[in-house]
């Protein structure tokens, strides 16, 4: 599990560790990890130029001590001090190693190290930092801990900020590394272990081993009904493709049976495409809404009457006006969540974590907010972030496949939180396999779900 902790959690853990270590030892650990990451990115040391942008916080100290290590390896290091309160020990170490401190007019570097603002910074960058960054525009940036100017605990962007090619963070991931839009500004994130002992994290990201451990797998003499039966109420005469794609996601083999209930003309097409799918009967979970049109509300009402868990998607989301009587997963994209909460779409995209948590608490169910980094949120505010996938996954019908997949996992016995987060992870992994670096359509994603499962480590 990739865990992302809050600033307060990290600071408490650092304070506890520093009480047991010699003065400055923790910063030296961080600086060494940063320096080696910079060297790896540069590819060589002698003759390369690195510019440190240094503020007044501990991140500036990390950058300065890393700069001293780089200078001793033959890198030409300049430190642009943006504050008179730059870490004095770090400044002395850099100068002793042959590095230079400047107050502007840097030589064009091969790489910039962002040590402007620490994890406790608030709001966007000050004008002097913005001006300094403008002088090295186009040069790759390595951020220390988090890109300066981002909302570390929120993942939000509130003003000018650093956009990093690489972020080197210490002890644990921070929320900004996983949650967009700040995650997109973090680039590749490299974690340096500095020995922190941390409590459970409020934000997590499943890894392949976690998915393998959670995934329902058949054992022994299990029968198809014991593996779960999922029902799909999706599509309409106007949108038959939604039914086909929802069923495709549901019938990827992760539960024992799929039932389709809907317009008879659509049902005929479903049976032709998926002869293993059967009609009405008892189910352990429902998937409702994709392409349902004017009948989506009726279909949601019928599904809720069965008293089993339900995935509410697309057109059915418009008919959710309060907490539901059964365990549920709501699967909106930003526009749908904006309508549900009565805000602008831009507000959802600027603060997805805040709004997904608000929706989960309001509707008392799991909310799966689709996006580049999909968020799965419980009513209590726990979060899993999906980082699998590819930009090619932004294609019509992909969400229909996802809804069916999550429904199959619900029917297979997973909780709504696990079904949504495992389903989202597999959906992204299947898309990456199907894409192989090129374009895809939603049906390709459904067909690649078994391959994504086979790629998992054995639990």
Sheet (strand 100-102) strand order: 100-102, 76-81, 49-54, 111-115, 141-144, 166-170, 188-192
pLDDT at 297 over 80: yes
Strand residue runs (E) in 24-135: 49-54, 76-81, 100-102, 111-115
How many Å apart are CA 150 and CA 164, to the nearest integer?
Answer: 11
How many Å apart are CA 51 and CA 72, to the nearest integer?
Answer: 15
Tokens 């040069």, residue?
Answer: 139
Orientation angle between helical segments 398-411 and 442-454, nearest 10 degrees:
40
How many Å apart are CA 394 and CA 409, to the nearest integer?
Answer: 23
pLDDT at 90 over 90: yes
DSSP string of 3-27, one letter each residue: EEE-HHHHHHHHHHHHTTS-TTHHH
CB within 8 Å of 292: residues ≥ 6 apart = 233, 234, 235, 236, 239, 242, 299, 314, 315, 316
Q: Averaged over 165-187, what is the pLDDT?
A: 98
Question: Of the candidates 211, 218, 212, 247, which has an alpha carbon nearest to the alpha carbon of residue 230?
Answer: 247
**Mean pLDDT, rounded, of the chain:** 97
What pLDDT does residue 121 have?
A: 85
Orientation angle between helical segments 398-411 and 416-435, nearest 10 degrees:
140
What pLDDT does residue 222 have?
A: 85
What pLDDT does residue 459 have?
A: 62
Task: Using alpha carbons, list the distances in angstroms from residue 31 to 270, 334, 384, 417.
Answer: 59, 39, 30, 38
What pLDDT does residue 220 have?
A: 81
Dihedral of alpha carbons 412, 414, 415, 420, sign: negative
Q: In this structure, what DSSP letter does residue 307 have?
A: T
What are the pLDDT digits (tens) for 109-152?
Answer: 999 999 999 898 888 999 999 999 999 999 999 999 999 999 99
Q: CA 140: distance to chain centroid?
A: 23
How many Å apart are CA 70 and CA 48, to the nearest integer?
Answer: 10
Sheet (strand 2-5) strand order: 173-174, 2-5, 203-205, 383-386, 374-377, 366-369, 328-330, 310-312, 285-288, 229-233, 257-260
pLDDT at 278 over 80: yes
Domains, the chain: 2-204 (3.40.50.10260), 208-454 (3.40.1190.20)
DSSP string of 202-228, one letter each residue: SEEE--HHHHHHHS----TT--TTTT-
Gyration radius of the chain over CA positions: 25
Burial environment of residue 159 by CB neighbours within 10 A (0 to 12, 13 to 18, 19 or more): exposed
Residue 51's pLDDT band (cuts 50, 70, 90) = very high
CB within 8 Å of 90: residues ≥ 6 apart = 54, 60, 61, 62, 63, 64, 65, 67, 68
Measured CA angle at 369 (ends 457, 332), to 5 deg = 125
What are the pLDDT digits (tens) for 326-384?
Answer: 999 999 999 999 999 999 999 999 999 999 999 999 999 999 999 999 999 999 999 99
Tokens 């309060």, residue?
Answer: 322
Question: Of the candidates 151, 182, 179, 178, which has an alpha carbon nearest to the alpha carbon of residue 164?
Answer: 182
Phi-psi region of 432 (alpha: psi -120 to 50; beta: other; left: phi over 0): alpha
Question: Of the candidates 421, 387, 389, which has an alpha carbon nearest to the alpha carbon of residue 183?
Answer: 387
Q: Averaged over 296-307, what is the pLDDT?
A: 97
Say if residues 100 and 64 touch (Cβ distance below 8 Å).
no
pLDDT at 102 over 80: yes
What are the pLDDT digits (tens) for 203-235?
Answer: 999 999 999 999 999 988 888 989 999 999 999
**Model confidence, pTM:** 0.96
What pLDDT does residue 120 have?
A: 86
């Amino acid at each position: 599990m990739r865990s992302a902790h809050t600033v307060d959690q990290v600071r408490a853990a650092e304070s506890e560790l520093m009480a047991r270590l010699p003065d400055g030892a923790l910063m030296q650990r961080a600086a060494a990890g940063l320096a080696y990451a910079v060297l790896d990115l540069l590819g060589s040391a002698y003759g390369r130029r690195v510019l440190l942008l240094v503020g007044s916080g501990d991140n500036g100290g990390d950058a300065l001590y890393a700069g001293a290590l780089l200078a001793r390896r033959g890198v030409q290091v300049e430190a642009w001090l943006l504050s008179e309160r730059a870490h004095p020990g770090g400044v002395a170490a850099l100068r002793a190693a042959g590095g230079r401190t400047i107050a502007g007019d840097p030589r064009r570097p091969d790489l910039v190290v962002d040590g402007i603002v620490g994890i406790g910074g608030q709001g966007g960058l000050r004008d002097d930092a913005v001006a300094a960054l403008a002088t090295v525009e186009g040069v790759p940036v390595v951020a220390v801990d988090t890109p300066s100017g981002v909302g570390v605990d929120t993942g939000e962007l509130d003003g000018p900020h650093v956009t990093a090619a690489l972020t080197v963070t210490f002890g644990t991931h921070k929320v900004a590394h996983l949650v967009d839009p700040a995650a997109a500004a973090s680039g590749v994130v490299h974690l340096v272990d500095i020995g922190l002992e941390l409590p459970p994290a409020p934000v997590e990201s499943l890894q392949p081993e976690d998915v393998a451990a959670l995934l329902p797998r058949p054992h022994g003499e299990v029968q198809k009904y014991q593996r779960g039966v999922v029902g799909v109420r999706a599509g309409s005469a106007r949108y038959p493709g939604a039914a086909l794609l929802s069923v495709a996601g549901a019938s990827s083999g992760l539960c024992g049976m799929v039932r389709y209930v809907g317009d008879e003309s659509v049902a005929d097409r479903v049976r032709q495409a998926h002869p293993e799918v059967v009609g009405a009967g008892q189910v352990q979970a429902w998937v409702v809404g994709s392409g349902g049109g004017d009948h989506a509300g009726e279909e949601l009402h019928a599904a809720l009457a069965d008293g089993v868990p339900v995935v509410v998607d697309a057109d059915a989301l418009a008919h959710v006006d309060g907490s539901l009587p059964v365990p549920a997963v709501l699967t909106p994209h930003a526009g749908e969540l904006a309508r549900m909460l009565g805000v602008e779409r831009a507000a959802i995209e600027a603060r997805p974590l805040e709004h997904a948590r608000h929706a989960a608490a309001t509707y008392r169910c799991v909310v799966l907010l689709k996006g580049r980094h999909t968020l799965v949120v419980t009513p209590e505010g726990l979060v899993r972030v999906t980082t699998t996938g590819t930009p090619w996954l932004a294609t019509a019908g992909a969400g229909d496949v996802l809804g069916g997949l999550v429904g199959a996992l619900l029917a297979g016995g997973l909780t709504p939180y696990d079904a949504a987060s495992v389903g989202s992870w597999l959906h992204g992994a299947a898309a990456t396999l199907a894409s192989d670096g090129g374009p895809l359509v939603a049906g390709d994603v459904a067909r690649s779900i078994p391959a994504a499962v086979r790629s998992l480590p054995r639990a």
